[in-house]
Structure 1
Amino acid sequence: MDRRLFLGGLLSGLATRGRADAPLTSVRPVARPATAARAAVPAGGAADLVAEAKLGGRTCYALFDLKSGEMIEAIDPGRPMPPASTAKAITSLYALEHLGAGYRFATRVIATGPVQGGKVAGDLVLAGGGDPTLTTDGLAELAAALAKQGVREVEGRFRVWGGALPYIREIDRDQPEWVGYNPAVGGLNLNFNRVNFTWKRQGKDYAVGMNAEDRRFVPQVNVARVSLSERDLPVYAYDEKGGFEDWSVSRQALGGGGSRWLPVRHPDLYAGDVFRTLAAGAGLKLPAPEVASRAPQGRVLAERGSDDLDDILRQMMRYSTNMTAETVGMAASQRRGVTRHAVSGPEMSAWLGGRAGVKGARFVDHSGLGGASRISAEAMASALVRLGPGARLATLMKEIGVEEDGVRLPATVHAKTGTLNFVSALTGYFTAPGGRQMVFAIFSADVDRRDALGMSERERPKGGKAWVKRARGLQHDLIGRWASLYSA
C-alpha cells in the first residue's frame, strides 16, 4: 500500500480546514441484524502499530465484517471517544431517515400585499427555509426573478425571516471567536454564515473590506465592518454593539495582503444586507432589512430550492461543513418534535440507540465540533453496519484509493475523517483485495492534552499538526494490515 497516496487523501481535508465550511458549489435506513461477536485484542501487530505512533492518550478501533455483522478485530472497542467530524456520518443517517434523500430546502421572496405596476403594496420578505447551502449567487437568482417580473418598488418594509429553524449564536462555545467553521446557525443562512474579510497593502497602510464573494458576484457587506488595531494580540476581536458586527484586526498580523472568512453571528440580517445590494443591481431599491418575528403570509414572488438532501450530505461529508451538519440535524429533530439545538444532539443519540441498538453514544451537536461528544468505535462501526447499506451511506463518503508498489489495488476505502485538537478519527467502509467488505472505526485522542489548551492556542496548537500526521499514518497502517490479513 502506498502510504503517501493514502495519506494524501486523508490529509487533503487538513489543507482546507480554514475553508472547511465552503464547498465552492428518501431512502430509509433499514436495520440489519448484526451479532457483535467479541473480538480478541490482537497480540502484536496492531498493538505495536499503536505504540509506534506515540500519540499518547488512547487509540481504539473496531473492524467488522459487513456481511455477517461480526466484529473481526478490535482494540478497546467499547471505550467512549470523541468522534470529531465522523459524527457527520451519524447525522447523515439521521437526516436521511427523517427528511428523505430527495428533501429540498426552499428560500422564498414573499410580498405581503398586492403587486401592481411593479410596486409591492406591502412588505417584501426574504424568508429562509433552512437551506445550509444558499450562496450569494443563489440570492442573485432570486433578485433576478423579481426583476423579470417587473418589481421595482416596495411601499412597506424589507424584512428577513429565519424562523424556519431555531437560532444559535455559535456551534461550540469553546472555539475561538474568529474561526469560520464555528458560525451561527438559523433558518436563513448565507455562504455558510461567513463573511469574507479582505486586506491589501496600500503604501504604508491597508485597504480593508468585507464582502460576500461568490463565483459571479462579490457584493460589499454593510452589516459587518472591520477596522485595524495597533495591538499585537489578540489578532481578532469582535463586538456587536450598535447593530453591526464589528471586527478589529491586528495590523501587525496582516502581511502583504489576503483574505479570510470570518463567522457571522446574525445570518438573517447578513443575508438581507447582501440581497438588498443584489436587488439594487437588478433595479429594485430596498430599505435596510428588519427581522420579522413571525412567518410571513402572502404571495410568493420568487423561490429557490436547494439540491436534494443526498447531494447536500455528499458535499457535507467531503468538505466537513459544520453548519450544514447542524442545519440538517436540527431539521431532522424538528420532525421528532424538538425545537432547540441543545436538545437536538441528545435526541440523535437516543434515536441511534433505538434504531441501531447501540449503547452509550452521546452527541452534543451534529457536526462533531463539540469536544464533549462521545461514541465508542464498536458503536460507530455497528451503526454503519446496520444502517449504512440501506441509506447508501458509503456513496456519500469520500473515496480513497489504495496502491501497493505503485499499482492500484482492487481495494477501496469510503470514509469520513474527523479532526479536532489532538483528536483524529476515521470511519467508513473498506473493500479488501478479493472483495471482502468491512466496516471500521478508528479513534485516537489525547483528551488531557486537548483540554489543557488555552483559547489562544486552539486554532493552531503547538505540536498539533505533527500529532495529526502521526495519527493519520496509524490509520493508514491499520488499513494496510487489514488489506493483508482479510483479503480472502
Structure 2
Amino acid sequence: MLRPATKVYRFGFVLLFMAVFFTLPAQAATGLNAMRALAAEGYDVAGLVVNLSSGERVAEYNADQLLSPASVTKLYTAAKALEVWGADYRFETDVLVQGQRRGPTIDGNLVLRGGGDPSFTNSGLWRLALDVAQSGIQEVSGDLIVDESRFGRVTCVTHDRCKAEKKSWHSYDSLLSSTAVNHGNIAVVVSPGESIGAPAHISIDPYPLPTMDVRGSINTVKGYGAQFSVSRFTENGSDWLKVSGTIGVKAGTHRVYRSVGQPARYTGNLFREFLQAAGVKVGGKVEVSLLPETGDRLSSYQGEPLNQILGDMLYYSNNLIADVLTLNIRAERNPLAPVNLTIAGGELQSYARERTRASAFANSSDAILHDGSGLNPDNRLAPVDLVALLDGVYQRTRDFPYLLGALRVPAQSPSRGLSGSNEIWDRLSVKTGGLSEPVSVHTLAGYLRFKNGDWGAFAMMVNGTRANRWIPRVKAFEAMRKDLEKL
C-alpha cells in the first residue's frame, strides 16, 4: 500500500505518506508473544525493544509497567559511577601515623583510613603492610585504628543484610563499610584429612585470626564428594564460625566464602596479621572510629580502575560492590552529610527519573530505587526506564564502550538459562537479575545488534504474583530468547 504513495509527489499525498510513515513504529511496536504467553499464565510481564540507531520502538508489551528489577538495577550504578568519576578513576586507602616516630618505633597509633574502595583485597593490605615495614617501622606502641568515617556506620535496610548482622551462611549478603576488604567476606579453606575417619583440615585464608574461632568439625569420608556447612555467627562483638558435615578423602581442597559481621573490625584484625608478617608489631588493640582521624600520611594504596570494578560488579552481580559505589556517589556529592543506603539509593532514583525524562523513548518516570544492587525487593523500574538509561549511555561516547564491555555475552555465560551456542545469544550484551523472595523475579536488559548493523537496547521483566509466586528461571529466559530471536 505504501509503495504507490511514494511515487506521488503532489503536496497532499506527500503529507498523507508522511503521516502514515511516522505512525508505523508505534503500530509495529507489538510482538513479544512469548512474553505475552507468560502474562496469560498469571505472571507480571513487561518488555521493550528499541532501535537506538533509528530511534524506533521495535517491540513492546506493558513497557511503562513498574516491576521489581532485581540486579539489572546495577546498570544505574554503573552508568552513574562512569558519569561521576570516569573509567580510570581509582579509590584510595591510606595509612596514617598518629604520634611521634622514634627510630623504628611509632609512639602512638597507626590509622587505616578507608576510602570506600570496593576492590580492596588482601593484596592491598599486604602492599600497605610492606610500605609500613619498608619505611623502617618495626613497632607501633599504640592502637591500630580503622577509620570508616567516609560512610560512618551503615545500618541495614534489607532483610538479608539485617540477618547477616548476626548470622550468615552466604557471601552475597555482605555488610557495608568504607573499609571492607575482600568484598566483606572471609575465606574458609577445607581439605580432607589424611585418611577416612580423620578430621578435615580447616583454616582461614590467608591467616588464622585470634578473633575468629572455628567451632565444630568436618569428618573425612570415602570418595570425592563434599557435604559440609559453614556458618558465621556474631555475638557480643565477636565473630565465630560453625562447621559440620563431611568431605571425601579424594575431594581436594574446597574454599568457601562467608560475609563477616563486623567488616571494619575484620579488616583491622587482618591488617594486623599482615603487619606482623611484614615484621611490624602492634602493641595496642584494633579499634574502629566513625569520626575522621588525623595524622601524617605514611602510605596510600590505589585500587583497581573503575572500569575493572564495574566489570566485576556486573559479571558476578556483586551486591557489595554495587552498594558501596552507591554510598560513594552520595558521599562524593555531600561529604559532610550522614550516609545510609536509603538516602544514597534516592540519588540513583533521581538519576533514573532524569534519564527517562531526557530520553527520546519516554518523557516521565515513577522509578523507585532504594539501593544500587537490586537486593531490595521494593525497587521498581519499568522497561522504558532501563531502555532510557541504556540509550543515554549509548549517546555518551566516553562511557558507552566501558559499559558495553562490562556486560555479559549470554552465549559465553555459565549462567543457567543463558548458556548455549545460539546466534541470538551472540548478538546480546546483557545484565541479568533474579530474586526468589517474596516472589520470583527474572530480568534481562542490555544492548543488541540487529542484522543490519544497527544498535538496539532492550529490557524484559518477569515477576511472580501473589497468586502465582514462582516461575523457573529457564522458562522466563527462554520466553525472552524466543521473542528476541524473531526480531
TM-score after normalising by structure 1: 0.78
Q: Which residue of 1 aligns with 2:239?
A: 245
Mapping of residues 190-339 of structure 1, within 5 Å: 190-202=181-193, 204=197, 206-207=199-200, 209=202, 211=204, 213=205, 218-228=206-216, 238-249=232-243, 251-252=244-245, 258-287=254-283, 288-337=285-334, 339=339
Identity of matched residues, %: 24
Please give the alpha-carbon distance, in whole angstroms, between the structure 2 residues aligned to 1:431 and 1:400: 14
CA gap of 1:71–1:221, structure 2 versus 1, over 3 A, is: farther
Q: Deviations over 1:277-320 (max 9, x none)?
A: 11111111124411123222111111100122222112211111
Matches within 5 A, 1:93-104: 93-104=79-90
Change (3 A) 1:268 1:48: closer
Match of 1:420 in 2: 435
Question: After the TM superposition, which residues 425-440 of structure 1 pair with which residues of structure 2 at under 5 Å, given as runs?
Answer: 425-440=443-458
1:238–1:410 Cα change, 3 Å: closer
For 1:340 and 1:407, how far apart are their aligned partners in 2? 43
Residue 407 (structure 2) aligns with:
397
Aligned to 1:480: 485
Residue 266 of structure 1 and its aligned partner are, at CA, apart by 1.0
User: 1 CA distance for matches of 2:184 and 2:178?
Assistant: 11
The residue aligned with 2:180 is 189
Structure 1 residues without counterparts, runs of 5 or longer: 1-34, 453-462, 483-488
Partner residue, 2:150: 164
The CA distance in 2 between the partners of 1:50 and 1:109, in whole Å, is 57
Alpha-carbon deviation of 1:84? Answer: 1.1
Following superposition, the deviation at residue 480 of structure 1 comes to: 1.3
Q: Which residue of 2 aligns with 1:10?
A: none
Matches of 1:423 and 1:204, distance apart in 2: 44
1:210 and 1:167 mapped to 2: Cα distance?
29
Does the CA contact (< 8 Å) of 2:424 and 2:481 recur in 1?
Answer: no
**Deviations along 1:60-99, whole A, 9 cap, x unmatched?**
1101111243322101111111111111101111222233
The match for 2:463 is 445
Distance 1:208 1:318, change over 3 A: same
For the residue of structure 1 that corresponds to 2:281, the secondary structure is: coil
User: 2:93 and 2:441 mapped to 1: Cα distance?
Assistant: 37
Which amino acid in 2 is paired with 1:240?
Answer: T
- Tell me whether 1:154 sits opposite 2:140 in the alignment: yes
**Distance in 2 of aligned mates of 1:59 and 1:156:** 59
State how many pairs are aligned: 422
Q: Distance in 1 between matches of 2:426 and 2:368?
A: 32
Is the contact between residue 441 and residue 464 of structure 2 (CA under 8 Å) also seen in structure 1? yes
Residues 413 and 431, structure 1, Cα contact 8 Å, conserved in 2: yes
CA contact (8 A) 2:348 2:369 kept: yes
Structure 2 unpaired stretches of 5+: 1-22, 219-227, 358-363, 413-419
Q: Separation in 1 of the partners of 2:422 and 2:317?
A: 30
Q: Distance in 1 between matches of 2:203 and 2:370?
A: 32
State the AA in 1 paired with 2:213. Answer: R
What RMSD in Å do the two structures reach over aligned CA positions? 3.2
